[in-house]
Amino acid sequence: MTAAAKAVDYEHLHNQAAGNIDVMREVLGLFVTHCEQVLAELENASDAKAWKQWTHTLKGSARGIGAFAVAEAAAEAERHSMDKAKLAPIRAAFAEARAFIGKHPL
């Protein structure tokens, strides 16, 4: 499977976690929960500062685990402050990442 075909780059995560599978599992679980929370915060965001904070946070979290499509969608949303239409690509990328994690457990 090529890196482009993976919703989460486990090799990247493996490097980030210094090869510790237990850490990788924990981080993946935390990411799923975090992403769900951030999406809720973005849906309810009422000002540009909160929007930028949450999109920036999600971008970094997603890059950290190798969910690069989520990170790119978050970066795009960050560039378009308060454009709630930008949540759809984040949700789609996150759904793919969550499905990938479920289908390819560590």
**CATH number belonging to domain 3-103:** 1.20.120.160
Contact yes or no for 70/58 (Cβ under 8 A) = yes
**Domain spans, the chain:** 3-103
CA distance 38 to 89: 14
Question: pLDDT category, 24, cuts 50, 70, 90?
Answer: very high
Q: Is 12 exposed, middle or buried (0-12, 13-18, 19+ CB in 10 A)?
A: middle
Question: pLDDT category, 1, cuts 50, 70, 90?
Answer: low
pLDDT tens track for 36-82: 999 999 999 999 999 999 999 999 999 999 999 999 999 999 999 99
